[in-house]
């Protein structure tokens, strides 16, 4: 592990790299997960490494959907387990969702390690080790799911997903909430609610929102869901990113405001 000086301007980002690398070494995250993380970092850099107003809106709608769902499930992969284990457990408790480990680069050993990792943060009844159903029309290992979890869920939260499973879950008639920093990904295009935010901010934002919305009347939650338009939200997100680049907010967020980099 490299010791990152606390006063380094990129402290948080570099610390996350250390954590995800540690999780690869611990057998929690896949090596491919590092590549996915790098792609996420690059897009987050363009976004200015903060939650856009459109992301906050999507996060609230997503929480409303989870709170009104009958059988909500949070799907966890190796990257999410590394970046937001504590938050996932807390959110699952708040919205009364099951947690299921579901991997693209699936090995039983890694599922067991992720389960154990989540349990160390207080998770109970984590599913995924003994899949007994298959998502129709999906040829990857992600198709293997448990009957009492993802297979029978009415709403699934999928952080850092690949588009294929998102599409297959939608085809099964489920409501899908994606957390994907890439507004152009197939996942973002396919999901019912796409949260274009870094999972490290999205989960704490959703916890805050769940604490605020948990006493809201169901009819008001349903109205919030009804008012949310995913395509419109994605379009506004892309416009906001472009505006941020034009107005130089990116340089400011990176501490470059006094430099002319173009």
Summarize as ranges the residues that interact with ligand PTJ (CB under 6 A).
30, 32-33, 36-37, 39-40, 43, 77-79, 83, 103-105, 160, 162, 179-182, 185, 198-199
Strand, coil or helix: what is 73? strand
**CB of 176 vs ligand PTJ, minimal distance in Å:** 14
**Residue with smaller CB distance to ligand PTJ, 69 or 101:** 101
Sorted by sequence, the CB contacts under 8 Å of residue 166 that are 6+ apart come out as: 158, 176, 178, 186, 187, 190, 191
**Residue with smaller CB distance to ligand PTJ, 107 or 120:** 107
**Residue with smaller CB distance to ligand PTJ, 15 or 182:** 182
**CB of 112 vs ligand PTJ, minimal distance in Å:** 14
**CB of 238 vs ligand PTJ, minimal distance in Å:** 14
In the block, which residue shows the tokens 């897009």? 43
Q: Write out the H or E segment, with its range, that includes residue 34.
A: helix 31-47
**CB of 205 vs ligand PTJ, minimal distance in Å:** 12
**Residue with smaller CB distance to ligand PTJ, 154 or 162:** 162
> Cα–Cα distance between 243 and 262 in angstroms, integer?
16
**Residue with smaller CB distance to ligand PTJ, 179 or 210:** 179
> Cα–Cα distance between 261 and 254 in angstroms, integer?
12
**CB of 222 vs ligand PTJ, minimal distance in Å:** 27
Question: What angle is formed at CA 91 by the lines to CA 11 and CA 97, rounded to 5 degrees?
Answer: 145
Query: Which CA distances in Å does 245 have to 24, 48, 57, 236?
Result: 33, 9, 21, 14
Tell me which DSSP letter residue 132 carries. Answer: -
> Cα–Cα distance between 176 and 155 in angstroms, integer?
6
**CB of 160 vs ligand PTJ, minimal distance in Å:** 4
**Residue with smaller CB distance to ligand PTJ, 72 or 78:** 78
């Amino acid at each position: 592990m490299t010791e990152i000086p606390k006063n380094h301007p990129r402290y948080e980002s570099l610390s996350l790299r250390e954590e995800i690398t540690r999780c690869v070494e611990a057998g929690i995250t896949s090596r491919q997960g590092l590549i996915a993380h790098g792609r996420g970092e690059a897009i987050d850099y363009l976004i200015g490494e903060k939650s856009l107003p459109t992301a906050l809106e999507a996060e609230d709608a997503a929480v409303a959907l989870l709170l009104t769902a009958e059988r909500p499930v949070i799907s966890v992969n190796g990257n999410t387990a590394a970046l937001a284990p504590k938050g996932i457990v807390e959110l699952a408790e708040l919205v009364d969702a099951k947690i299921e480990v579901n991997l693209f680069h699936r090995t039983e050993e890694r599922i067991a390690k992720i389960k154990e990792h989540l349990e160390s943060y207080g998770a109970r009844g984590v599913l995924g080790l003994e899949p007994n159903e298959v998502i129709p029309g999906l040829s990857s290992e992600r198709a293997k799911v448990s009957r009492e979890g993802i297979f029978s869920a009415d709403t699934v939260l999928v952080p850092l997903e690949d588009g294929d499973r998102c599409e297959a879950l939608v085809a099964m008639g489920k409501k899908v909430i994606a957390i994907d920093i890439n507004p152009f990904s197939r996942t973002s295009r396919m999901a019912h609610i796409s949260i274009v935010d870094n999972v490290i901010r999205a989960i704490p934002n959703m916890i805050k929102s769940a604490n605020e919305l948990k006493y809201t009347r169901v009819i008001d939650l349903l109205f919030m869901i009804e008012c949310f338009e995913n395509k419109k939200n994605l379009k506004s997100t892309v416009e906001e990113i472009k505006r941020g680049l034009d107005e130089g907010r990116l340089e400011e967020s990176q501490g470059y405001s006094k430099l002319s980099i173009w």
